[in-house]
């Protein structure tokens, strides 16, 4: 058994990252400035998008994207129930109603047929979440959205880098939101990005990210800037800092290298669990390139004498840090009480929730770490086999 605790996640911060941040700190310009611009330009190129707007969280990215397409009071927005709090709370903050949608049984991504059934005359947009880094079925979602004139705002917090039929996530839909939170595939500590092909949306989001002040407010303290500014709308304080952007630029350079390291973990797990019928490995559909942000196994309660919660507690006792992504929104008090959500309305997500465990997957994991995870999981399954 392991003698030291294996963290569920450790960010991959190298000396080059530290040097980049120190460079920003020494430059005399620490908040939104030239490094933010450079990060936006590089990020847009990386995902093949026309425009990228850097912000201070993935949540801010989602909020600004929905604001830009005009989501407001009286609107409904379709949100998968198997997601993080952020995806739905921003809908509520804009005065609109989040309508929760069940997931597909295999990928745990938004189910297009459940999405279609949830559409009403008030539905304005849908937010597909590329769960764990597996791109959603963008053909089916795109077709349904087009038929009902819905906007598609992708929550790509898990999907950097990921491809759908060869196209990078970020260059596909109307608007795509990324997160650079500490546990994500690249990090800026806290941070986010929105990509879009529409200049008018990019401009709106850029303006709203800095108090709704007229164009290029960040330049007002530079030589070419002006002290004059005008407030066009009551905006937000969502801009990224140059310190964070310096880290982002440095991390983006290694995004593909990090992916290869996560793929090494993924292969190790896939092989390690291949012959264990009580463990279901993550599904992978044809035509996608997975970002492998998460490696989510499902245990089969019919084959075991312990449930998922007990399994997690025992893994922790064996010094293996794991997590659950996610407690579906419909099981949380706010969504139950406000919208009357019931477990049976979301059969796939409710069933999945009883079974899912996210295993550690990040570049720093050694061969020995991965062996420890596999042997702890397999050991418990054998010990508690029915
Ligand atoms: C992490 C995450 C977010 C929010 O990102 P923050 O940068 O933490 O605000 C949104 N959606 C999903 C699915 C996430 O996992």
Q: What is the pLDDT of residues 352-385, one digit of tens each?
A: 999 999 999 999 999 999 999 999 999 999 999 9
Quick check: CB of 83 below 6 Å from ligand 1?
yes
Buried b (16+ CB within 10 A) or exposed e, 75-105: bbbbbbbbbbebbbbbbeebebbbbbbbbbe
Q: Which secondary structure element, helix H or strand E, spans residue 315, and what is its range?
A: helix 308-317
What's the confidence (pLDDT) of residue 218? 64
Ligand 1 centre to CA of 40 (Å) is 19
- For all residues of the chain together, what is the average pLDDT? 96
Ligand 1 centre to CA of 179 (Å) is 6
pLDDT at 208 over 70: yes
Ligand 1 centre to CA of 56 (Å) is 11
Distance CA(302)–CA(324), nearest Å, equals 20
The answer, as to whether pTM is greater than 0.85, is: yes
Tens digits of per-residue pLDDT, 105-120?
999 999 999 999 999 9
Enter the CATH code of domain 15-252: 3.40.640.10
CATH of 255-383, one of 3.90.1150.10, 3.20.20.80, 3.40.50.2300, 3.40.190.10: 3.90.1150.10
**Which ligand 1 atom lies nearest to the CA of residue 325?**
15
pLDDT at 202 over 90: yes
Tens digits of per-residue pLDDT, 216-252?
666 667 777 778 888 999 999 999 999 999 999 999 9
Which residue ranges make up each domain of the chain? 15-252, 255-383
Position of tokens 């702890």?
A: 376
Instruction: Give Cβ neighbours of residue 277 (< 8 Å, ≥ 6 apart).
Output: 300, 303
**Looking at the chain, how many residues does it have?**
386
Q: Fold identical between 15-252 and 255-383? A: no
Dihedral angle computed from the Cα positions of residues 126, 127, 132 and 135, in that order, rounded to the nearest 10 degrees: 60
Confidence band for 297, pLDDT divided at 50, 70 and 90: very high
E strand residue ranges, 127-173: 151-155, 163-164, 167-168
Residue to probe by mutation, ligand 1, list 81, 87, 194, most atoms within 8 Å of CB: 87
Distance CA(149)–CA(377), nearest Å, equals 46
**Average pLDDT estimate for 145-156:** 98
Residue to probe by mutation, ligand 1, list 66, 77, 84, most atoms within 8 Å of CB: 84
- 3-state DSSP assignment of residue 359: strand
Residue 186 to residues 9, 12, 203: CA-CA distances in angstroms?
A: 12, 8, 25
Tens digits of per-residue pLDDT, 17-70?
999 999 999 999 999 999 999 999 999 999 999 999 999 999 999 999 999 999
């Amino acid at each position: 058994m392991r003698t030291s605790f294996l963290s569920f996640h450790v960010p991959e911060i190298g000396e080059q990252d530290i040097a980049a941040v120190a460079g920003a700190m020494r430059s005399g310009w620490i908040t939104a400035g030239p490094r933010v611009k450079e990060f936006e330009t590089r990020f847009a190129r990386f995902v093949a998008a026309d425009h990228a707007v850097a912000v201070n969280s993935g949540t801010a990215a989602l909020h600004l994207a929905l604001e830009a397409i005009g989501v407001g009071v009286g609107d409904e927005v379709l949100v998968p129930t198997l997601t993080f709090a952020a995806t739905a709370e921003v809908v509520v903050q804009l005065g609109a109603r989040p309508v929760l949608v069940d997931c597909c049984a295999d990928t745990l991504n938004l189910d297009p047929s459940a999405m279609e059934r949830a559409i009403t005359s008030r539905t304005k947009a849908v937010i597909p979440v590329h769960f764990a880094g597996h791109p959603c079925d963008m053909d089916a979602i795109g077709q349904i959205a087009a038929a009902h004139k819905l906007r598609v705002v992708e929550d790509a917090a898990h999907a950097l880098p990921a491809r759908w039929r060869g196209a990078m996530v970020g260059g596909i839909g109307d608007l795509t939101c990324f997160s650079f939170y500490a546990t994500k595939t690249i990090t800026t500590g806290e941070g986010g990005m929105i990509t879009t092909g529409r200049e008018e949306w990019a401009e709106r989001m850029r303006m709203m990210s800095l108090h709704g002040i007229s164009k290029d407010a960040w330049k007002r303290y530079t030589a070419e800037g002006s002290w004059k500014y005008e407030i066009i709308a009551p905006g937000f304080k969502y801009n990224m800092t140059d310190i964070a952007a310096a880290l982002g630029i440095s991390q983006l350079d290694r995004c593909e290298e990090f992916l290869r390291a996560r793929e090494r973990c993924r292969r190790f797990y896939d092989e390690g669990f291949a012959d264990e019928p009580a463990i279901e490995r993550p599904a992978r559909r044809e035509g996608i390139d997975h970002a492998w942000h998460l490696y989510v196994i499902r245990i089969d309660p019919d084959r075991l004498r312990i449930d998922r919660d007990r399994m997690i507690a025992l893994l922790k006792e064996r010094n293996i840090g794991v997590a659950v992504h996610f407690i579906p929104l419909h099981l949380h008090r706010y969504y139950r009480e406000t919208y009357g959500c019931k477990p049976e309305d979301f059969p796939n997500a409710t069933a999945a929730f009883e079974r899912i465990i996210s295993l550690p997957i990040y570049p720093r994991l050694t061969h020995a770490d991965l062996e420890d995870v596999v042997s702890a999981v397999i050991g418990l399954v054998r010990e508690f086999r029915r």
